[in-house]
């Protein structure tokens, strides 16, 4: 766990996670709104749809907007909160795919792994200040 401060490598890792997760969520959200690369309605299970009082198109557009907000939060000053919602969102999507059954097994594993990565980003986002890197040869 981070002590509230971080050294060069830890900050680099956090920034790489912030940029990759932020860009991923913004791109996924934009695609859900535009349907340019995937037909997202085919990934919403009937079980999930029965729990949401919206039609399929509205669910996908709303999901796209939520994902863009999560991506902006992660890249912006609310990385810890954004990463938390990313973890929850990815876990819910994995559950949604699970309700379909076997055909989506690889995607379920992929979303669980991404959710774990979002958890790591959330934990790393407790680092606020960057400490100067100690000079070479100065072992502490």
Q: Is residue 139 part of a domain?
A: no
- Does residue 75 lie within any of the structural domains? yes
The answer as to whether 136 is a domain residue is no
For residue 37, the enclosing domain spans 5-130
pLDDT digits (tens, 9 = 90+) for 23-60: 999 999 999 999 889 888 888 888 888 999 999 999 99
- Residue 140 located in a structural domain: no
- Least-confidence region, from 25-34, 45-54, 77-86, 88-97: 45-54
Nearest to 49 by CA among 33, 38, 60: 60
What is the 8-class DSSP label of residue 76?
Answer: T
Residue 123 lies in a domain: yes
The contacts of residue 77 (CB under 8 Å, 6+ apart) are none
> How many domains does one find in the chain?
1
- The Cα 98–Cα 95 span in angstroms is 5
Radius of gyration, alpha carbons of the chain? 18
Q: pTM of the full predicted structure? A: 0.81
Mean pLDDT of the chain: 86
| pLDDT score recorded for residue 92 | 95
| Residue 138 resides in a domain | no
Q: H/E element holding 130?
A: strand 129-130
Q: Is residue 103 part of a domain?
A: yes
Q: What's the average model confidence in pLDDT over 108-133?
A: 83
For residue 137, tell me if it sits in a domain.
Answer: no
For the record, the structure tokens of 128 come out as 């606020």
Q: What are 100-109's pLDDT values in tens digits?
A: 876 788 899 9
């Amino acid at each position: 766990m981070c002590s509230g401060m971080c050294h060069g490598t830890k900050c680099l890792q956090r920034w790489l996670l912030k940029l990759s997760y932020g860009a991923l969520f913004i791109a996924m959200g934009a695609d859900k709104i535009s349907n340019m690369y995937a037909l997202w309605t085919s990934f919403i299970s009937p079980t999930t749809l029965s729990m949401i009082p919206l039609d399929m198109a509205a669910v996908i557009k709303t999901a796209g907007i939520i994902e863009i907000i999560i991506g902006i939060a992660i890249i912006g000053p609310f990385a810890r909160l954004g990463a938390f919602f990313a973890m929850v969102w990815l876990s819910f999507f994995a559950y949604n795919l699970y309700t379909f059954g076997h055909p989506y097994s690889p995607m379920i594993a992929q979303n669980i792994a991404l959710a774990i990565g979002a958890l790591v980003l959330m934990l790393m986002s407790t680092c606020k200040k960057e400490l100067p890197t100690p000079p070479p040869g100065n072992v502490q």
